[in-house]
C-alpha cells in the first residue's frame, strides 16, 4: 500500500529511467494526473460555446467537428482553430447505414491521444449504429449520428443527429462534488422541472438530478423558491414581428416565455425508391422569470415555417437575442432512406404539448411509382399529421403542417413536393389581475368580406349557376332545376381543429343549411330567414357551404356573409380547444389577422 500526494516538488534520487532521464523522489505519471483531474470533472464536452464539438455537414460525404474541447476520464481532447473534417465512406447501393462520430481517448502505445473517429455502421434495411467502446484502453464520447442513405452523395444538415447533450453518451463537463450553490429564490431549470413537472424529464435527466448531492440537498432543505405555474396572458402563433405591451395589472415583474422557432420544410428523395427526410422542428425553450416593466413595449418575432427553396424555418425571439430560438434546430425529422416518424424537442409543462416535432420521412419503396409522403410534425398525442397520399407519379406528396408549433414538414419521394414547416410561436405566462389573454387570430378564408368574387367557387347539382356579390354578401342563384347549391371558399389551411362560422340564407323551402365536413347544420330553415351556422371542422378536407332541397327549380338562391375559419388548436393548444358555442359568444367576425383579448 502506498500514499501519494500531488503535486509536490521532487528531489533528484541519482537514478535514471531506461531512457536516461533523471528520476525524482516524488514521481507523477500521466495516469496520476488523469486520476487527479478525473476526480474533479465529469466526462463530456466543455460548453462555454454551444457549438463546441458540434458535427456539421460539409461538401459531399464529409462532415466537420467544430473547434472545442472534451474531458474523457481525466484527459482532455481539443480541436483548435479550424474545424476537423472527416470524409465518410461511400454509401451502400441497397441499404442505409448510420455512422457514429466519436471523440476517443486511446491509451494504446501507438496512439496515446484523444482523437476524432468514425464508427461506420453496417448497411441494413433497418440500420443500427455501432455501440461506443469504453474499457481500460479505449473510452469514447459520442458526438453525433450521421444517416447515410443508399446512393447518397451529399450529407445534409438533417442527416445529422446531435448526441452531445445525452449524458449517457457524452454530456457536458461539470464539477464533481456538492454541486452549485443556488441563492434563495433561484433554482436551476432542471430542478424546477424535477419538482413541478417530473413527468416531462427523461430517465437520464431524472438520474442526473438525483445523483447531484448538492442539488438534492438544496431541494430537500427548501433553500430554493419554486414558483407556481403562471397563466397564459399572450400568445403569438403566426409568423411576423410584433410588439407586446406589458399589462399595467401584471402582478410581479417577471414572466415565463415559451419561444419556438419555425420548422424546416421536408426533403424530397434524390433518387427513386428511397424515402425523403422529414424537416427538422424548430428549437424550443421555456425561459423562466424574465424581468419586465409595467407598460414596457417589447418587440418579438415569430419564425416562419420553411416553405421556400432554402427550406429552413425562421427564428423566434422575445425582447432580444438572449431569448432567441432558431428555426430547424429542434426535434429531428424522420431519417432519409427509411420511413420513420420525427422526434419532439420539448414538453411545455404549461399545456403538456410536445413542441418542435420533426416531420416524418416518406415511405420507402422499391418502385418509382409507389410510396407515401411523410407525416407532418406532431402534437402532444401523435408523432405527426396524416401521411401523404399514395404515389401516382414518382411517389406521394409530403403532408402539410402538423398540429403543433414549430413542426417540420413531411418528406417526399422523388420528384414530389415535401410538406411545409409550421410557424413557431411566442407564448407569455404571467399573473395579472384580469386574467385576460391577448391572442392573434387569423381568418383563413380568403376574401371573407366579399370584395368581389375572387377566392370563391360554386356549383349547383351539375350546373354552374350564377354567383354575384352585393354589400358584403355573396349569392349563388341556380340557373336550372337543381337539388343542391354549394359555395366553396378558397383556403388551404386545415390542421387540428378549426372553428368555422357563417351567415346563410335561402329564398326557397329547403331541407337544411350545412357546412360540409363539420357538425354544423340547420334543419328545415325558413325561406328568407338568415341563420348563423357554426361548428368544428376536423381533418384535412376543404369546407363548403351547402343547402339541399327535394324540390328543384331555377332562381333558387343561397346567400352567405361573414364567414370565418380559425385554427383553434394552434391558438388554444391540442386538447384545450373551446367548443363552437364558446367561439360563437367570444369571437366576432373579422378579416385577415386581428389581436383580441379572449
**Residue 73 is inside which H or E element, if any?**
none
Query: Which residue stretches of 136-279 are H helix?
Result: 189-196, 203-211, 213-220
Strands 438-442 and 232-236: parallel
- Distance, in Å, from the CA atom of 202 to the CA atom of 207, rounded to the nearest integer, reads 9
Least confident of 73-87, 134-148, 174-188: 174-188
Is residue 404's pLDDT more than 60?
Answer: no
Least confident of 72-76, 269-273, 361-365: 361-365
45-162: CATH topology is: Triple-stranded beta-helix (2.60.520)
Domain residue ranges in the chain: 45-162, 181-226, 227-434, 456-597
179/302: higher pLDDT: 302
Question: pLDDT category, 118, cuts 50, 70, 90?
Answer: very high
Sign, CA torsion 15/17/22/26: negative
Beta bridge partners of 342: none
Is residue 422's pLDDT more than 50?
Answer: yes
381 near 389, Cβ under 8 Å? no
Most confident segment among 281-285, 369-373, 545-549, 569-573: 545-549
Least confident of 83-87, 312-316, 319-323, 342-346: 342-346
200-215, pLDDT tens digit by residue?
667 777 887 777 776 6
User: Model's pTM, two decimal places?
Assistant: 0.53
Is residue 299's pLDDT more than 80?
Answer: yes
Note the pLDDT of residue 444: 87
Is residue 297's pLDDT more than 80?
Answer: yes
- Distance, in Å, from the CA atom of 145 to the CA atom of 185, rounded to the nearest integer, reads 40
Q: Which of 332, 413, 339, 328 is nearest to 369 (CA)?
A: 413
Is residue 50's pLDDT more than 80?
Answer: no
109 near 98, Cβ under 8 Å? no
**SS3 string of 106-134?**
ECCCCCCEEEEEEECCCCCCCCCCCCCCE
Percent share of the chain, pLDDT over 70? 72
Angle formed by the axes of helices 203-211 and 189-196, nearest 10°: 110
389 near 397, Cβ under 8 Å? yes
Note the pLDDT of residue 461: 56
Over residues 522-533, the mean pLDDT reads: 92
Residue 321 DSSP label: G
Q: Which CATH class is domain 456-597?
A: mainly beta
Question: pLDDT category, 254, cuts 50, 70, 90?
Answer: confident
Is residue 417's pLDDT more than 50?
Answer: yes
Is residue 311's pLDDT more than 70?
Answer: no
Least confident of 80-89, 401-410, 435-444, 502-511: 401-410
Is residue 343's pLDDT more than 60?
Answer: no
Is residue 292's pLDDT more than 60?
Answer: yes
516/376: higher pLDDT: 516
- Distance, in Å, from the CA atom of 313 to the CA atom of 305, rounded to the nearest integer, reads 5
Over residues 520-525, the mean pLDDT reads: 89
- Can you read off the three cell numbers belonging to residue 364? 420507402
**SS3 string of 339-351?**
CCCCCCCEECCCC
CA trace torsion 17, 18, 20, 26 (10° rounding): -10
489-506, pLDDT tens digit by residue?
887 555 568 899 999 999
- Can you read off the three cell numbers belonging to residue 287? 425561459
Over residues 77-95, the mean pLDDT reads: 93
Tell me how far apart the terminal alpha carbons of the chain are, to the nearest angstrom: 75
Is residue 589's pLDDT more than 90?
Answer: yes
Least confident of 169-183, 394-408, 418-432: 394-408
CA trace torsion 33, 39, 43, 45 (10° rounding): -70
Amino acid at each position: 500500500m502506498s500514499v501519494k500526494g500531488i503535486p509536490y516538488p521532487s528531489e533528484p534520487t541519482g537514478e535514471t529511467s531506461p531512457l536516461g532521464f533523471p528520476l525524482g523522489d516524488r514521481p507523477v505519471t500521466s495516469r496520476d494526473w488523469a486520476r487527479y483531474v478525473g476526480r474533479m470533472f465529469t466526462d463530456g464536452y466543455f460548453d462555454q460555446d454551444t457549438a463546441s464539438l458540434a458535427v456539421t455537414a460539409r461538401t459531399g460525404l464529409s462532415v466537420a467537428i467544430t473547434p472545442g474541447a472534451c474531458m474523457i476520464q481525466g484527459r482532455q481532447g481539443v480541436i483548435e482553430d479550424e474545424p476537423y473534417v472527416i470524409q465518410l465512406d461511400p454509401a451502400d447501393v441497397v441499404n442505409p447505414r448510420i455512422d457514429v462520430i466519436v471523440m476517443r481517448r486511446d491509451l494504446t502505445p501507438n496512439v496515446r491521444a484523444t482523437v476524432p473517429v468514425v464508427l461506420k455502421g453496417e448497411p441494413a434495411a433497418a440500420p443500427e449504429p455501432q455501440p461506443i467502446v469504453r474499457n481500460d484502453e479505449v473510452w469514447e464520447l459520442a458526438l453525433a449520428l450521421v444517416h447515410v442513405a443508399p446512393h447518397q452523395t451529399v450529407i445534409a444538415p438533417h442527416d445529422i443527429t446531435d448526441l452531445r447533450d445525452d449524458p449517457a453518451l457524452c454530456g457536458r463537463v461539470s464539477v464533481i462534488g456538492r454541486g452549485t450553490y443556488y441563492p434563495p429564490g433561484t433554482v436551476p431549470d432542471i430542478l424546477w422541472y424535477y419538482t413541478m413537472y417530473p413527468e416531462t424529464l427523461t430517465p437520464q435527466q431524472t438520474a442526473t438530478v438525483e445523483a447531484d448531492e448538492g442539488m438534492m440537498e438544496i431541494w430537500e432543505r427548501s433553500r430554493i423558491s419554486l414558483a407556481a405555474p403562471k397563466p397564459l396572458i399572450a400568445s403569438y402563433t403566426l409568423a411576423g414581428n410584433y410588439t407586446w405591451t406589458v399589462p399595467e395589472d401584471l402582478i410581479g415583474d417577471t414572466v415565463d416565455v415559451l419561444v419556438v422557432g419555425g420548422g424546416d420544410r421536408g426533403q424530397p428523395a434524390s433518387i427513386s425508391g428511397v424515402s425523403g427526410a422529414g424537416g427538422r422542428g424548430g428549437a424550443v425553450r421555456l425561459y423562466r422569470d424574465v424581468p419586465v416593466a409595467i407598460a414596457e413595449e417589447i418587440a418579438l418575432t415569430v419564425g416562419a415555417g420553411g416553405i421556400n427553396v432554402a427550406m429552413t424555418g425562421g427564428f423566434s425571439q422575445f425582447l432580444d437575442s438572449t431569448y432567441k430560438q432558431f428555426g430547424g434546430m429542434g426535434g429531428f425529422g424522420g431519417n432519409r432512406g427509411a420511413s420513420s416518424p420525427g422526434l419532439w424537442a420539448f414538453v411545455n409543462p404549461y399545456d403538456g404539448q410536445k413542441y418542435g416535432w420533426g416531420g416524418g420521412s416518406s415511405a420507402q419503396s422499391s418502385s418509382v411509382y409507389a410510396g407515401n409522403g411523410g407525416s407532418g410534425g406532431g402534437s402532444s398525442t401523435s408523432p405527426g399529421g396524416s401521411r401523404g397520399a399514395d404515389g401516382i407519379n414518382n411517389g406521394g406528396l409530403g403532408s402539410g403542417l402538423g398540429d403543433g408549433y414549430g413542426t417540420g414538414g413531411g418528406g417526399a419521394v422523388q420528384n414530389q413536393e415535401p410538406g411545409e414547416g409550421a410557424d413557431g410561436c411566442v407564448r407569455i405566462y404571467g399573473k395579472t389581475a384580469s386574467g385576460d389573454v391577448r391572442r392573434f387570430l387569423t381568418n383563413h378564408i380568403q376574401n371573407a368580406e366579399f370584395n368581389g368574387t375572387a377566392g370563391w367557387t360554386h356549383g349547383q347539382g351539375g350546373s354552374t349557376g350564377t354567383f354575384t356579390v352585393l354589400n358584403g354578401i355573396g349569392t349563388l342563384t341556380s340557373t336550372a332545376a337543381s337539388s343542391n347549391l354549394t359555395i366553396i371558399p378558397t383556403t388551404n389551411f386545415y390542421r387540428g381543429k378549426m372553428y368555422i362560422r357563417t351567415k346563410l340564407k335561402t329564398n326557397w323551402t329547403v331541407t337544411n343549411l350545412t357546412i360540409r365536413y363539420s357538425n354544423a347544420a340547420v334543419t328545415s330553415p325558413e325561406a328568407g330567414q338568415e341563420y348563423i351556422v357554426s361548428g368544428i371542422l376536423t381533418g384535412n378536407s376543404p369546407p363548403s357551404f351547402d343547402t339541399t332541397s327535394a324540390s328543384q327549380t331555377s332562381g333558387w338562391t343561397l346567400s352567405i356573409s361573414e364567414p370565418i375559419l380559425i385554427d383553434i388548436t394552434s391558438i388554444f393548444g391540442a386538447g384545450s380547444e373551446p367548443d363552437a358555442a364558446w367561439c360563437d359568444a367570444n369571437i366576432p367576425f373579422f378579416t385577415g389577422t386581428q389581436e383580441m383579448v379572449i
